[in-house]
Structure 1
Amino acid sequence: MQKVELIATATFGLEAVVAQEVRALGYEDVKVDNGKVTFTAGISAIPRANLWLRTADRVRLKMGEFRATTFDELFEKTKALPWSDWLPENATFPVEGKSVKSTLFSVPDCQAIVKKAVVESLKKTYKRDWFEEQGPMYKIEVALLKDVATLTIDTSGPGLHKRGYRGLIGAAPLKETMAAAMILLSRWKPDRVLMDPFCGSGTIPIEAALIGQNIAPGMNREFVSESWPNIPKTVWRQARAETHDLARYDQKLEIIGTDIDDEILRVARRNAAEAGVEDQIHFQRMDVRDVRTKRKYGYLICNPPYGERLGDWKQVARLYRDMGEVFSALDTWSFYVLTSDEQFEKHFGRTASKKRKLYNGNIKVDYYQFFGPKPPRPAVVVPDA
């Protein structure tokens, strides 16, 4: 089987989570770097990674990597890569770029040179001087970091956070990939109750339901590489069939989403229906200060308002103090809170068991994790002799 080198791009702080997902798909040749996870696998990994990765931003096909400090170097080394192995004669191939701490700092110039080099490479194979670019999309990226150029082709299209279920969102949306990461980092299990008291448009409860029933996040969307002639249609069909075979639709879940806004709850219910998990989530209008439950050993996972985002700092600090008082009554629960407030623990009145630095969009945040007690093991019944 043809081997390919793929890069799953990741939000800063989530690289290890993405790597764990890649390994869970059965791929072992995994390398973790800032903002990306690189792995080598068969061509079937392109559809499988796109369909299954919950926390990656997108999946890129790596064409080559080399040092380049001059435009001549960039041109010649790009031209030498096997572009015709992937780009058909009618391919559409725009070039985007970025440059960080590199001699070649002009991104527009780098993009133009890479475009010219790819054209020159294709001319050799297809024996023509002009390419109309009316066929499948192969978006090329040239990324320069400390004078090392990495050339990739995007296999995803719209970012992987676009699952297809969220037509309408709230004022401060949480990306689906971040919501999934919060759940995976909590190590929540489907047999435990999960609550989000700031559910907004429902992203955390919906992602939890998808995880709980092992529903592939990309099951109901399309990817740009599905139109590539290089990947047999049978490979895509097999990958999609696998998502249906592995889904656990009969897994019962207890997931609760609450919010104070009736309108946004209507949006949440609509989004859950689009995702096919509306029967697994109970949405309810409730202020966080009124949260009560008799359930034991649950998980409370939330993305509450930040002062810089949805209100002033004094209001948010008071909200966090109220959260601390309310949550203290849930003494057998575990709490997971994403916020940019570095004084959160002080307001909440409790030191986190663990915290992790992340980025929610371009906002630096911490993921505060408060571990509750483990539920008691079921008693072992010894039969009479």
Structure 2
Amino acid sequence: MSKMHLIATSAFGIESVVGRELQRLGYGDQHIENGKVTFSGDESAICRTNLWLRSSDRVLVKMGEFKALSFEELFEQTKALPWDEWIPENAEFPVDGKSVSSKLSSVPDCQAIVKKAIVEKLKQRYKREWFEETGPLYRIEVALLKDMATLTLDTTGPGLHKRGYRRLAGNAPLKETMACAMLMISRWNGDRILIDPFCGSGTIPIEAAMIAKNIAPGMKRSFSAEGWRTVPKELWKKARDEAQDLIRHGCELRIHGSDISEEAISLARYHAKQAGVDSDIHLQRMDMADISSRYKYGFIICNPPYGERLGEVRQAEGLYRDMARTFKELDTWSYYILASHPEFEKIFGRRADKKRKLYNGRILCNYYQFYGPPPPKREPGTDMLKKV
């Protein structure tokens, strides 16, 4: 199998999380930049990373990178790339584009030039003048940044946040990839109780259960590259068989999700069942102010309502004060809270031990991390219940 350069894209702020995931999968030769991690791998890496990456948006093949100050340079250097080794005669190959701080600022023109260059390359290989584009999808992107053009092939198709279990959508759902980043930043690993008191349609609890059970997030979906001749079907089968074998069965998990909306809880139950983790999560309608636990050590990981309009902002501020009162009763717990309000810490009444800038969609947020004390080492025959 041939080594190639691959790119795992991500939301800004979680590139290092994606890098750690790739490291665990065995892809340590990597370079981290804003919004992406470039790494080396063979054809099997396309299968394994699409199946296993939890916080990445998609996996791309890096076809080439070069400086382009004119359309002629863009055309000639694009044409020189080995498109014919990847793209079959009947392929559908649309070209997307973006340009930032570059002389070639017209994205439609750049797309047209790249498309024309690839067609000319394929004409040389297949000895024909017209391509019907009725076969498998090979989506191409030309991205220009400060006059450097990067050309890629998208192996994923619909973004990796589309796991296949979310068939119904609630209001302003948290992306599955961001939920996983929040969980991985917290270092929760299934050993302690986890509560999400604003679970909405269930994303954080469901992704937590999948992490704890080691269920590959891409198991219930397909990918663009599954129809490619350059990535043999036996590699996909091997990767899926590996993922199936690595599922941890018989885990005893303490994952709780609650929400004040009965409709949201109904959606969460449906999604948990679709994901195959409904028996691993306890979901119930509950006001955040009523949250309590008999366990002394645990995690709260949540994405409370932001309140983007004026009246909603005031409601959100009142909610943050209520959270502070409720969470104070769980004084040995750790809390991880995603919020966009610039004065969150002041309203919450406590400075975070650590915070991290993250983008939830296009909303700039901070991920506030409040650390509880570590639990004592467990002695045989004891439990971690809080005495009441």
TM-score when normalising by structure 1: 0.97
- The 1:276/1:116 distance shift into structure 2, 3 A limit, reads same
What residue in structure 1 maps to residue 158 of structure 2? 158
What SS class does the counterpart of residue 38 from structure 1 fall into?
Answer: strand
Say whether 1:353 aligns with 2:353.
Answer: yes
Once the two structures are superposed, the pairs formed by residues 267-346 of structure 1 within 5 Å of their partners are: 267-308=267-308, 312-346=312-346
Structure 2 letter corresponding to 1:360? N
Displacement of 1:207: 0.4
Distance in 1, Cα, partners of 2:196 & 2:376: 24
**Cα distance in structure 1, aligned partners of 2:11 and 2:315:** 29
Q: Deviations over 1:215-274 (max 9, x none)?
A: 000000000100001111110000000110111022221100000111110110000000
One-letter amino acid matched to 1:161? H
Aligned to 1:179: 179
Query: Which stretch of structure 1 is more off in the superposition, 182-191 or 304-313?
Result: 304-313
Displacement of 1:311 in angstroms is 5.5
One-letter amino acid matched to 1:346: K
Q: Which residue of 2 aligns with 1:234?
A: 234
What code does the residue aligned with 2:251 have? Answer: Q
Partner of 1:36: 36
Mapped contact 2:321–2:348 kept (Cα < 8 A): yes
Q: Deviation above 6 Å: which 4+ runs of structure 1?
A: none
Which residue of 2 is the match for residue 52 of structure 1? 52
SS of equivalent to 1:369 = strand
Change (3 A) 1:324 1:236: same
Question: Equivalent residue of 2:308, what SS?
Answer: helix
Measured at CA, do residues 356 and 227 of structure 1 come closer, stay the same or move farther in structure 2, by a change above 3 Å? same
Q: Deviations over 1:16-56 (max 9, x none)?
A: 00011011100111100011000011110001000000000
How many positions carry a matched residue from both structures? 381
1:146 aligned partner:
146
Q: Which residue of 2 aligns with 1:70?
A: 70
3-state SS of 1:114 partner: helix
Letter of the 1:344 partner, please give it. F
- CA shift at 1:310, angstroms? 9.8
What is the distance in 1 between the residues matched to 2:159 and 2:311? 29
Conserved? CA contact 2:189–2:211, under 8 Å:
no
Unaligned runs of 5+ in 1: none
Q: Does 1:370 align with 2:375?
A: no
Q: Please say which of residues 356-365 and 244-253 is displaced more in the overlay.
A: 244-253
Q: Deviations over 1:278-309 (max 9, x none)?
A: 00000011101111111121000000011206
Partner amino acid for 2:359?
Y
Q: Residue 21 of structure 2: SS of its match in structure 1?
A: helix
For 2:134, the aligned partner's letter is Q
Q: Could you tell me which amino acid in structure 2 is paired with residue 244 of structure 1?
A: Q
Query: 5+ unaligned residues in a row in structure 2: which ranges?
Result: 382-388
For 2:386, the equivalent position in structure 1 comes to: none
CA pair 271-309 structure 1, distance change in 2 beyond 3 A: farther
Specify the code of the residue in structure 2 equivalent to 1:55.
S
Give how far 1:379 is off: 4.0
Partner AA of 1:296 in structure 2: K
The residue number in structure 2 matching 1:249 is: 249
What's 1:2 paired with?
A: 2
- TM-score normalised by L of structure 2: 0.97
Do the aligned partners of 1:172 and 1:309 also contact (CA within 8 Å) in 2? no
Give CA deviations for 1:76-96 in whole Å, capped at 9, x if unaligned: 000000001100111110000
Q: Secondary structure at the match of 2:320?
A: helix
How big is each residue's C-alpha offset from its partner over 1:319-362, in whole Å with a ceiling of 9 and x where there is no partner?
10110011001011100000001111111111101000010000
> Secondary structure of the equivalent of 1:312?
helix
Q: CA–CA distance in 1 between the matches of 2:91 and 2:342?
A: 49
Identify the residue that residue 223 of structure 1 maps to in structure 2. Answer: 223
Q: 1:309 to 1:277 in 2, by over 3 A?
A: farther
In 2, the alpha carbon distance for the partners of 1:224 and 1:312 equals: 41
Q: For 1:94-109, what aligned pairs fall within 5 Å after superposition? A: 94-109=94-109
Tell me, in whole angstroms, the C-alpha distance in 2 between the residues paired with 1:309 and 1:297: 36
- 1:15–1:32 CA contact under 8 A, matched in 2: yes
Aligned partner letter, 1:272: A
Letter of the 2:334 counterpart? S
For 1:150 and 1:210, the matched residues in 2 are separated by: 34
